[in-house]
Structure 1
């Protein structure tokens, strides 16, 4: 009888636990700003009609209202409404550290963008790398935001996976391992004109879930493009789509010198998962020379993460025929130009900027407003389908022919 009673008690406890559902924690009490702290700027935040209202102000940098608590893995939900013409966002896994630009807030941001660009729900890396997942990756997600109305947002940050929703429409699917924990913060963006002063952005029903996340996370959506920012890895979703690594992060397997049978003995090195080309005397392929894949490719999508030092000049070539030039100079093919536009003289050579970063070298200039991340890794992408070719930089198309 005692064993039966214990069994019944256990079953009742389990049923009670299941009936309770997810244990959400309110981050805003609807009455005051208890549990929050203003950082960086001087824009005003106030509580009005059960919502936190941020008010734009001239002559102040971005202002943030941050939680006192920090969070690592979580599901965050909130509602927001923004005046037309005012950019904003919600920071997560973000920090303010004395050693980073004197405490400047930095980290992931859920974008709030009422402009025609329509990137609300995208993921931006505030004060660091810039755009990680612009919403031109997901045209359906661009349609979810309702201008002038209350919108519902959801952010799932679980391990290296970051996913967002706007009004229950999936917007982003990002893999990134840069920052594992930090505070939540509400942004009032800086403004540049008096016409923008006094515009407002409001948030309400802000809540977070930190337990049993695997049980309550949304199912995977194969229709949303996944962007993988973790170096030298292929995710399960990418593998299912057919992506393969061209470089394993540690060896020269699959590569050779453009004019050699093997890999160059100088001019290149592999350190900590990074393939480096060494500084040369400025001549064309006078150090280790170009390297090429051992296999040819026809129709493809090629992604390469690259970072440059001051004054660097490099490139990503495709359709290379190593038999066309056996003498001095580099291999011949189409080139996605990689260049320090601000410091290298080649940026001002050529015609109409067709030697600048991202251009089809010496032929078609890249867009002037391309999203380059100075000092960080950038993602170049070349898309080839038949006779149609595109150059992309950090999720933005910059050349098409």
Structure 2
């Protein structure tokens, strides 16, 4: 009887402990998406890479000849916080985590296609882990050139802890506690979670493994984790800023409604014709292809010294334009006002691409001075929106970005810079591009070009 009572007491204690544990889990709000034993609740799609459970972890293995393969949840999710651990053991094993992923089973002749937001796991020298890639759709939304400090967060051959917040139209990521990507986008509001085994180029890399474990999710009573550092935000909503951006000193240069903050480069008011504002888009309409001979350039009413400038632009076929900075309006020249220029150009159709020196008049170049080092896969076609960015730090270091990738860097006032100016069209102006401050300018070159989402932050 005594032993029975003891056994009963142990049983009651165990139930109490189990109950407390369950209550703690409920209070914590996390749900395990992977039970540590089998792949219940998951299914592989779109490729033939294999997934199995080994020692409480999901192990994916690459297969020669297979496209990207995804192990996806059978359930879909809207707003959530996801955490998991991910390990890559070889540089060929690019991977990622689909966030609100989408699947078209009929695509690719019935083989299926996964597309949508993917949080990157990049073991290559590029080191863009934690960045946001739009799989099989728009490509890179947040390459880590936008947040280079985060490139060192991912560790090859070790488990890396990922945190992904998808709440409303915001997606934020962390790798091993490091703040990585911040994207505001409204393309998908719900979808599956997916674990990727990437295709491989070399057959000898077949069998290379990517391992996932501790996959858990919160879907209720979400408490977003704030970014403490000043991280660049890719904000794809029209002419708007997040509270985080405002708190970090960003302001809109174009409000989407009127010409406030802008005027003609050669006049005190905004041009009465030529420049239009419709549906939140600022456009210089086509005329005769001449340089600042019709509506004319427009400039900001304010002056800027060190700054972080971001903008989106859409070119028409054969178009030429530019975004200039450190424009002083003091040169007394005719035509377009003088300043350092982020070139906007249809490289295929406009003859200016073949002029200058070694391509230094092509898209995103420092016009007539430094050619943009860009890859075609990071350029959106004519008629689609591209993202430009110019960063000038207080020490006169300057960088141009195209769709989040750095393509030009130089130092204003350096000997190398002055040597380039000396052999350029700007040689006749003393101290060209070295003013302490100047206007931002949008150029009228007689071709139709549109702008939106123009924002700036002064740097100190």
Please, what TM-score do these two structures have when normalized by structure 1? Answer: 0.85
Unpaired stretches in structure 2, ≥5 consecutive residues: 1-21, 411-460
Q: Which sits farther off after the overlay, 370-379 or 269-278?
A: 370-379
Matches within 5 A, 1:19-38: 20-38=26-44
- TM-superposed CA distance for 1:376, in Å, is 4.7
Match of 2:16 in 1: none
Does the CA-based 8 Å contact 1:35-1:68 persist in structure 2?
yes
Matches within 5 A, 1:52-71: 52-71=58-77
Match of 2:123 in 1: 114
Matches within 5 A, 1:217-228: 217-218=224-225, 220-228=226-234
1:167 aligns with 2:176: yes
1:337 aligns with 2:343: yes
Match of 2:359 among 339, 353, 356: 353
Q: Which sits farther off after the overlay, 203-212 or 280-289?
A: 280-289
Match of 2:95 in 1: 88
Match of 1:254 among 240, 261, 265: 261
Distance in 2 of aligned mates of 1:58 and 1:170: 34
Match of 2:278 in 1: 271
Match of 2:57 among 23, 42, 51: 51
1:75 aligns with 2:81: yes
Distance in 2 of aligned mates of 1:133 and 1:159: 18
- TM-superposed CA distance for 1:278, in Å, is 2.5
Match of 2:442 in 1: none
Q: Which whole-Å deviations, capped at 9, do the CAs of 1:183-238 have from their partners, x for residues lacking one?
A: 11112222222233332212122121101102xx33x2322514141331222222
Distance in 1 of aligned mates of 2:28 and 2:185: 26
SS of 1:302's equivalent?
strand
Distance in 1 of aligned mates of 2:104 and 2:319: 31
Shift in CA distance, 383/201, structure 1 to aligned 2, threshold 3 Å: same
- TM-superposed CA distance for 1:100, in Å, is 8.8
- TM-superposed CA distance for 1:78, in Å, is 1.2
SS of 1:146's equivalent?
coil
Does the CA-based 8 Å contact 2:145-2:406 persist in structure 1?
no
Q: Which sits farther off after the overlay, 192-201 or 82-91?
A: 192-201
Please, what TM-score do these two structures have when normalized by structure 2? Answer: 0.75
Distance in 2 of aligned mates of 1:271 and 1:161: 26
Shift in CA distance, 97/368, structure 1 to aligned 2, threshold 3 Å: same
Bigger radius of gyration among the two: 2
Q: Which sits farther off after the overlay, 93-102 or 362-371?
A: 93-102
1:186 aligns with 2:195: yes
Match of 1:245 in 2: 252
- TM-superposed CA distance for 1:378, in Å, is 3.0
SS of 2:252's equivalent?
coil
SS of 1:141's equivalent?
helix
Distance in 2 of aligned mates of 1:64 and 1:188: 6
Q: Which sits farther off after the overlay, 286-295 or 109-118?
A: 286-295
- TM-superposed CA distance for 1:248, in Å, is 0.6
SS of 1:213's equivalent?
coil
Distance in 1 of aligned mates of 2:153 and 2:328: 46
Match of 2:422 in 1: none
Match of 1:379 in 2: 387
SS of 1:163's equivalent?
strand
Matches within 5 A, 1:319-330: 319-322=326-329, 324=331, 327=334, 329-330=335-336
Q: CA RMSD in A?
A: 2.7
